[in-house]
Amino acid sequence: MREFLIGKLNADALPHEWFTIAGSVGFTLMLLFAVGLITYKKRWKWLWNEWFTSVDPKKIGIMYFIAGGFMLVRGGLDAIMLWLQQSLSSGSSHGYLSADHFQQIFTAHGNIMVFFVAMALIFGLINYIVPLQIGARDLASPFMNTLGFWLYVAGVIMVNMFFFLGNEYGAAGWLAVAPLSGKEFSPGVGMDYWIWSLQISGIGTTLAAINFIMTMLKMRAKGMTLFKMPLFTWGSLCSMAMAVTVFPLLTMTIFLMFFDRYFGTHFFTTTGGGNAMMYTNLIWMWGHPEVYILMLPSLGVFSEVVSTFSRKPIAFYKSNVFGMIGISTLALMVWLHHFFTMGAGADVNSAFGVATMIIAIPTTVLVFSWIVTMYKGKIRLTVPMLWFLGFIAVFALGGISGVLLAIPPVDFQLHNSLFLVAHFHSTVVGGVLFGIFAGLAYWFPKIAGFRLNERIGRYAVWSWIIGFFVAFIPLYVLGLMGATRRLDHYDASTGWQPFFIMSLIGGIIIAIGAALQIVQIIASFIQKRRLADTTGDPWDGRTLEWSVASPAPAYNFAVIPEVSSRDAYFEMKKLGISKPTYKDIHMPKNTASGIYISIFAFLVGFGFVWEIVWLVVVSILGIIICLIAKTFNEDSEYTIPAEVVEKMEEHQADKVRAFHKDDDEVDMGLLEFIKIALSWAWRLVRGKR
């Protein structure tokens, strides 16, 4: 009976390791604080109506940013713990982590950074910016969007659930290589949490990708042909096309793994005719494209940033587009380079080596396109542009080491070494994270209505870049010294320790950079009036998102613009905009179905992790009922009357007319920020508010 009711759950599952106790207490305190604050401010209704149930891609985008930013801190803490262990654990010292715990941390670090940070931040940007860039009012399916977001949240909770119940996460690396991840070698629930956190958020990703593709293909403003689309939208389109192609593959692969673990099938086991090499192939057929899924929108961001801040249209627009299409097509055909060392013959390795090298061609073309855009431009070295310049340095390192790894005989020596780790961090930190940061700094005024503090922003950029080189150059060197990745301990005679310590110092500099970004955001909020973006066009922008107020109104465009060229808004500014006639706008209504379905999806996963059959059955029924109930809801739209739209637009126009540009540097520096923070703290202590 007990087994029927609660499956494998028992008292042992409660937190009893130091890290699960710390984690569960930490999360509980944060949750209590948040709940307390919301209750105190009486904001529950507002939160539910305005945010949680919202189908507005702008609000969903902001929620993706918040969740992704939170997980970035979580994954960053993992990174610091790994660095610390490797700096300490040399010779007779074994550091402060057990081997098993260390392996769980790098598994979680990889999963969190890829699935729950990078994907979330990319989706945040696409959600907010793409509809504005193509002149759309919302996404093709607003419901699918909220469902995708809440499935992602369910995945986030699942990946942290082991803190509360289970005491272990998967320890087989972020891709859970078989047969290590099978029941034979990993019997615990950690792997099951891995399976279900990826499975649930992965399905959310597939839904979101389908939705974005539909939106970009079918909902562009009149006149915006494909080759007039802004480059961020192009990057997103290529990225989402790849996501739709490969995420179902991930879902199926993980299902096969799930069958092996639950029903004792033999897809990837060592015995019974299972073939673990098949898993390696399948997971990398998804895994390699995944990296480019993250990177292409970022490359698009850089194209926008370079063009805007050079005050020039992007050079070689079509080559740039075909470069991105080329990258996304080729990236589907190179997965085998992740395991040249598995024993495929020279011919197979050669084919995949050549295919991998070919990817460097379109990537170089993109760089050329940016260089020529800067040539004879008027370049403003703002924070987004600094991220771009930093990205180039880091990415060049990643690119060169990447082509090196594409040469099979060289890869035999560098594979699975720290050189490889340094390589992919160069591409992913430079090519994905810096792109996201550049995009956030660039579009922040559009999202928040005021721009970010430039001074503190510059400090953050420099900390990240310097920290990156101090942290990852030693890893390249360690790889050349024969250090393999994922070591929780090594001999003192290897001489590796000073490099691990240097790398840790780099990691700390990066953490300072991240802290400065938080300071930057707070400082910008303090000065939000002075940094306000009244015109909606703070950078002299070129694309449609800058033609609307900041932050963008719920309906995005009062009147859907007509597009006749690339850089549509830049052309409009030159021609002047005539006064439009306003019409009623129909907008989708909020819905809570996405939340309900995601709760049930979470319970399905939870039921499978702990083998609680009734919970799985009930939750699957719950999902089906929610979906059917949703189809009965015919009344899913509301109308914003033309008068209201006119009033809002007039109000914005008045603000723009009253605006006069203030040339003074208004951004506060660090010292001023510390002064303000201290005086607040002082007032809080004295009890005077």
Partner 1 sequence: MTKPGKKFSRVRTIWLVLLGFIGLSLLVAALLRGNDVILFSPKGLVADQQHRLMVISTLIMLGFGVPILFFLYFFAWKYREDNEKAAYSPHSDHGKFFTFTLWALPTIIMLILASLMLPATQKLDPKRLIESENERLTIQVVALRWKWLFIYPDQNIATVNYVQIPVDTPVQFELTADETPMSSFWIPHLGGMLYAMTQHVNWLNLIANTPGDYQGSAAEINGAGFAGMRFITRVSSEEDFKKWVNDTTLSTNELGTSEYASLLMPSENNQAAFYSNPEPEIYSNILSKYAGGHQQYAGSTEHKVTH
Contact predicate 112/155, CB 8 Å: no
Query: Measured from the CB atom, is 506 or 553 closer to partner 1?
Result: 506
CB contact burial 399-427 (16+ within 10 A = b; e otherwise): bebbbebbbbeebeebbebbbbbbbbbbb
- Structural tokens at position 645: 């739209």
Phi, psi of 490 (to 5 degrees): -150, 165
Amino acid at 426: S
* Shortest Å distance, C-beta 562 to partner 1: 23
Q: Which stretch binds partner 1 (CB under 8 A): 266-274, 509-517, 613-621, 640-648?
A: 266-274
Cα 293 to Cα 606: distance, rounded to the nearest angstrom: 28
Contact predicate 330/355, CB 8 Å: yes
Site for partner 1, residues 92 to 121, rule: CB under 8 A: 99-100, 103
Q: Is the peptide bond between 142 and the residue preceding it cis, with omega within 30 degrees of 0? A: no
Q: Which of 593, 596, 607, 597 is nearest to 196 (CA)?
A: 607
Among 358, 514, 522, 526, binds partner 1 (CB under 8 A): 358
Amino acid at 659: F
Cα 210 to Cα 208: distance, rounded to the nearest angstrom: 6
Site for partner 1, residues 9 to 38, rule: CB under 8 A: none
Cα 578 to Cα 200: distance, rounded to the nearest angstrom: 48
* Concatenated DSSP letters of 350-374: HHHHHHHHHHHHHHHHHHHHHHHHH
Query: Measured from the CB atom, is 448 or 461 closer to partner 1?
Result: 461
Cα 496 to Cα 415: distance, rounded to the nearest angstrom: 18
* Shortest Å distance, C-beta 430 to partner 1: 13
Give the number of residues in contact with partner 1, rule: CB under 8 A: 103
* Shortest Å distance, C-beta 366 to partner 1: 10
Site for partner 1, residues 443 to 502, rule: CB under 8 A: 466, 469-470, 473-474, 477, 479-482, 484-491, 494-495, 498-499, 502
Cα 160 to Cα 621: distance, rounded to the nearest angstrom: 25
CA 235-237-238 angle, 5° bins: 65
Amino acid at 570: F
Would the CA dihedral through 235, 520, 552, 72 be positive or negative? positive
Among 350, 512, 620, 672, binds partner 1 (CB under 8 A): 350
> According to the binding rule CB under 8 A, does residue 281 interact with partner 1?
no
Phi, psi of 586 (to 5 degrees): -95, 125
Q: Which of 430, 442, 440, 320 is nearest to 370 (CA)?
A: 320
Report the first-to-last Cα separation within the chain, whole angstroms. 57
Cα 561 to Cα 376: distance, rounded to the nearest angstrom: 31
Binding track, positions 185-224, relative to partner 1; x by CB under 8 A: x---------------------------------------
* Shortest Å distance, C-beta 398 to partner 1: 11
Among 20, 215, 298, 310, binds partner 1 (CB under 8 A): 310
Among 58, 59, 109, 312, binds partner 1 (CB under 8 A): 312
* Shortest Å distance, C-beta 498 to partner 1: 5
> According to the binding rule CB under 8 A, does residue 666 interact with partner 1?
no
Binding track, positions 394-423, relative to partner 1; x by CB under 8 A: --x--xx--xx-xxxxxxxxxxxx------
> According to the binding rule CB under 8 A, does residue 379 interact with partner 1?
yes
Query: Measured from the CB atom, is 247 or 539 closer to partner 1?
Result: 539
* Shortest Å distance, C-beta 466 to partner 1: 7
> According to the binding rule CB under 8 A, does residue 56 interact with partner 1?
no
Amino acid at 372: V
> According to the binding rule CB under 8 A, does residue 608 interact with partner 1?
no
Which parts of 41-141 fold into alpha helices (H)? 44-46, 57-88, 99-111, 119-134
* Shortest Å distance, C-beta 89 to partner 1: 9
Strand partners, 484: 417
* Shortest Å distance, C-beta 99 to partner 1: 5
342 CB neighbour count, 10 Å cutoff: 13
Query: Measured from the CB atom, is 303 or 520 closer to partner 1?
Result: 303
Query: Measured from the CB atom, is 273 or 576 closer to partner 1?
Result: 273
Query: Measured from the CB atom, is 206 or 369 closer to partner 1?
Result: 369
Site for partner 1, residues 138 to 177, rule: CB under 8 A: 171-173, 177
Query: Measured from the CB atom, is 245 or 416 closer to partner 1?
Result: 416
* Shortest Å distance, C-beta 575 to partner 1: 16
Among 1, 40, 218, 271, binds partner 1 (CB under 8 A): 271
> According to the binding rule CB under 8 A, does residue 373 interact with partner 1?
yes
Contact predicate 147/598, CB 8 Å: yes
Rg, the chain, Cα only? 25
User: Counting beta carbons within 10 angstroms of the beta carbon of residue 325, is it exposed (0 to 12), middle (13 to 18) or buried (19 or more)?
Assistant: middle
Site for partner 1, residues 518 to 547, rule: CB under 8 A: none
Q: Which stretch binds partner 1 (CB under 8 A): 287-295, 361-369, 435-443, 603-611?
A: 361-369
Q: Which stretch binds partner 1 (CB under 8 A): 193-201, 374-382, 554-562, 581-589?
A: 374-382
Query: Measured from the CB atom, is 392 or 620 closer to partner 1?
Result: 392
Query: Measured from the CB atom, is 381 or 515 closer to partner 1?
Result: 381
> According to the binding rule CB under 8 A, does residue 442 interact with partner 1?
no
> According to the binding rule CB under 8 A, does residue 515 interact with partner 1?
no
Q: How many residues does the chain have?
A: 689
Query: What count of Cα atoms within 13 Å lies in the side-chain half-sphere of residue 96?
Result: 10
> According to the binding rule CB under 8 A, does residue 381 interact with partner 1?
yes
